[in-house]
């Protein structure tokens, strides 16, 4: 604990969610892992998730990743970025970004382009066997 700042690290299992934020709608995974380092009131995370089945999630629902290790306190200066993604649709000249939702343990996925700005990532765009890796930081 340098200078009295709490430091902690560990692992968690991220979940693939839709609008209802329900992890038990039949979603199954080929890969599902997360790791974190907490320094004071900031959590640094990395996520690797590959979805084998979307269960009963509907195509128009926004994709979210849940079960983050700590509750998000603010979305200011809290973002996540994907360095890897496959089996996604409609991603010409776009990046996959995450936005942490205050008061939850959830990150919503968005598409970003310099032309259109940020738009939601819906379930229909996250293909079967969709696979993403994220890293980011958020306030807890």
Give the model's pLDDT for residue 91: 62
pTM reported for the whole predicted model? 0.89
Say how many C-beta atoms besides its own lie within 10 A of residue 15's C-beta.
21
Fold (CATH) for 2-139: Adenovirus Type 5 Fiber Protein (Receptor Binding Domain) (2.60.90)
For 86-99, write each residue's pLDDT tens digit: 887 756 667 888 99
For 42-88, write each residue's pLDDT tens digit: 999 999 999 999 899 999 999 999 999 999 999 887 889 887 888 87
DSSP calls for 33-76: EEEEEEETTEEEEEEEEEEEEETT--TTSBPEEE--SS---EEE
Question: Taking the C-alpha atoms of 33, 95, 26 and 59 in order, what is their torsion angle to the nearest 10 degrees?
Answer: 180
């Amino acid at each position: 604990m340098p200078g009295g700042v709490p430091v902690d690290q560990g692992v968690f299992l991220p979940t693939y969610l839709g609008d209802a934020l329900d992890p038990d709608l039949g979603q199954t995974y080929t890969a599902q892992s997360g790791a974190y380092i907490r320094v004071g009131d900031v959590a640094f995370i990395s996520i690797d998730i590959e979805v084998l089945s979307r269960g009963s999630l509907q195509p128009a629902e926004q994709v979210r990743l849940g079960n983050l290790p700590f509750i998000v306190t603010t979305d200011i200066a809290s973002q996540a970025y994907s360095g890897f993604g496959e089996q996604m649709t409609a991603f010409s000249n776009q990046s996959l970004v995450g936005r942490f939702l205050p008061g939850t343990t959830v990150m919503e996925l968005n598409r970003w382009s310099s032309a259109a700005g940020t738009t939601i990532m819906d379930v229909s765009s996250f293909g079967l066997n969709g696979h993403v890796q994220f890293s980011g930081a958020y306030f807890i």
